[in-house]
Chains A and B, each alone.
Chain A
């Protein structure tokens, strides 16, 4: 069954890549960087979303997928992409180079949180302090929930995040962080709640092998940002198309598959909590 789905997904991708751009789509290509801030391995859905954006912006749209946030940060700074869906932490890092385009609504709110997950066999862990001297998986050094937030919690508990764990490693994606805990490679990990909830919908067998031991406070949802040199017309077009998604059936279908409720303009103030954490860590 999954094999079949995969084939369809691949087919979708191929069609998406090779299909001639509709005649209505004209003008410069809109390039959007996609990051592991969401389940970016749902290739069929991505192909449909790209088609949707292409239809509604009447412009050719290209999705550029990178695993590491650093690469996306580079793409934005080098102005190789126009828009990007990034984590809140890279957004703050890039604050000077990007503008907030839109914020997705997850479970009705433009926020998410960090889940501390442990293997289902671990029934005792209640907070991150219980995981001292264990193997811990991080998502990405530029991830808030997958790196900044757990280290912040450790520091808050009075320990040194550098020596707290026996061994740590990066999986370069929230989805793979869940895999690392589910497979038993890591004894704990901090993960994007939105990714965990979305995976629970499509692959409940994987999330069932993990247990949420602790939930962090709410943070601003990973935003869609625009590289600062994007023309105002393009910015407005893209923002309009995203915010209009919940108003038509096709858009709603896509939002549903993204496990989102819609997009709002959002405000940089949403990310003040994260900024505060970063400040406490002495990061820019």
Chain B
């Protein structure tokens, strides 16, 4: 896995942390560089100041040759706190570059030549300017351990000697390392605070993105739940993304539903067309055949065997005719308008089945008289649905009918308890010869569907654990002209 393929959840804190780290390092480095310069400068300045003050106070002392007083002057900077003194040594040389007095009296004895005080002093002795008015001379040899600042003890052009302030270079490094340690400490502290904040911030920023990414990846799959608007209530880009996702999700769901319905109705239409054309093809010769049998029975005198066979033929053909008639749902039938009494009739018609199954019937019908719907067809639909419901609810089941009208529709809802229908059953509910019970011929719902569709309405079934519900909606205003080609005239 490449670094750039990492989740943004890690990449963002990594980048953020990297930037913070780089900033901290750059700042620290520049501060340390500055600090080193300042420290170097301060130490040298300090030494120069010390040399100046000492040289000034030493002039009268050396003039009077007061060695002890000179010693007291050069040891003064070390007297208060020898440990904290920046300067390591303060040596006064006479005009012949011999030790006049030294703060390190145990190492530098009086009158010892400068050149004999060690290689560093020897080098200094070579380069030291002899001019009475010579400015501060700084000796900072690369290999040497000490930095020396030399200043003439002079007044009015008379030079009595030289003050040499020496300090150890390790002091510089020692102080610098202390600064460095502080800086590193503070940097680590800041990083310790900032890095977890960045990590937390990155996670917080990225978790809704991650969630929505997951959702988008699985958008094509079925049954994705809608997005909860409370999940990300802000109106920033992520919020807009969530909204866009929600919109897209809703549209896709709608489209899927429409597609499903379309496929279903197309299938039903195709089945209808096929059924109708087959029925017609069968009906025409069937009529002829039944006529022929009738003629044979009326005018012929067949022997008993033939008579028996003809009767058998007639019964068989009649059954075929009934079945074909059932398949050919004709909505164009002239019928009187639907009245409240039609519902009462239906109740009477199904009462036998109710009694047989001990069904509890809940009957709520609030419809006006003279609705613009063919009563015969509506009665057929209702009887089919109710008989199905009574059968499906089993013994002592509950079945209810609610029928009401609103502005332009008749809404009939038939509900029953009992075993719920399976999704695959629901999908092929209205296809002919799809029976879910042993006694039916599988044409009841097919007929309902054909009638409702031809009346320009919808039939919808849903089945849950508690009950199964069929909802039929029929438009009241439309002229119930059949437009379907399936119902070809005889």
Contact = CB atoms under 8 A, between A and B. Distances in A.
B111 interface: yes
A185 B111 contact: no
Interface string A120-147: 0000000000000001010000000000
Interface string B57-71: 000000001111001
Interface string B66-107: 111001000100000000000000000000000001000110
B105 A169 contact: no
Contacts of A184: 105-106, 109
B105 A171 contact: no
Contacts of A172: 68
Interface string B37-71: 00000000000000000000000000001111001
Interface of A: 135, 137, 166-167, 169-172, 176, 180, 183-185, 187
Nearest to B67: A169
A169 B106 contact: no
A170 B61 CA distance: 12
A169 B105 CA distance: 15
Nearest to A183: B105
Q: By CB atoms of chain B within 10 A, which of A137, A169, A187 has the most?
A: A169
Nearest to B109: A135
A167 B106 CA distance: 16
A176 B71 CA distance: 11
Nearest to B103: A183
Contacts of B65: 169
A65 to B, nearest CB: 17
8 contacts: A166-B111, A167-B67, A167-B110, A169-B66, A170-B66, A180-B71, A183-B75, A184-B105
Contacts, number: 34
B111 A135 contact: yes
Given A184-B105, A185-B101, A185-B105, A135 B68 contact: no
Q: By CB atoms of chain B within 10 A, which of A167, A171, A185, A187 has the most?
A: A185
Given A184-B105, A184-B106, A185-B67, 4 more contacts: A169-B68, A183-B105, A184-B109, A187-B109
B60 to A, nearest CB: 15
A191 to B, nearest CB: 14
A82 to B, nearest CB: 30
Nearest to B104: A184
Nearest to B110: A135
A170 B106 CA distance: 19
A34 B110 CA distance: 32
Contacts of A166: 110-111
Interface string B303-314: 000000000000
Contacts of B110: 135, 166-167, 185
Nearest to B65: A169
A177 to B, nearest CB: 9
A15 B67 CA distance: 35
A171 B68 CA distance: 5
Contacts of A167: 67, 110-111
Contacts of B101: 185
Contacts of B67: 167, 169, 185
Nearest to A168: B67
A180 B65 CA distance: 16
Contacts of A183: 71, 75, 105-106
A106 B374 CA distance: 151
Nearest to A187: B109
Interface string B92-131: 0000000001000110011100000000000000000000
A154 B109 CA distance: 23
A137 B66 CA distance: 11
A62 B283 CA distance: 157
A171 B65 CA distance: 11
A170 B65 CA distance: 9
A176 B68 CA distance: 8
A175 B356 CA distance: 138
A169 B109 CA distance: 14
A187 B111 CA distance: 13
Contacts of A169: 65-68
A90 B405 CA distance: 144
Q: By CB atoms of chain A within 10 A, which of B68, B71, B109 has the most?
A: B68
Contacts of B105: 183-185
Nearest to B98: A167
Contacts of B68: 137, 169-172, 176, 180, 185
Contacts of B109: 135, 184, 187
Going nearest first, the 10 A-B pairs with the smallest beta carbon separation are A169-B67, A184-B106, A171-B68, A184-B105, A185-B105, A135-B110, A183-B105, A185-B71, A167-B110, A169-B68
Nearest to A182: B105
B104 to A, nearest CB: 9
Contacts of A176: 68
Contacts of A135: 109-111
A66 to B, nearest CB: 16
Contacts of A180: 68, 71
A171 B109 CA distance: 17
Contacts of B75: 183
B278 to A, nearest CB: 125
B61 to A, nearest CB: 11
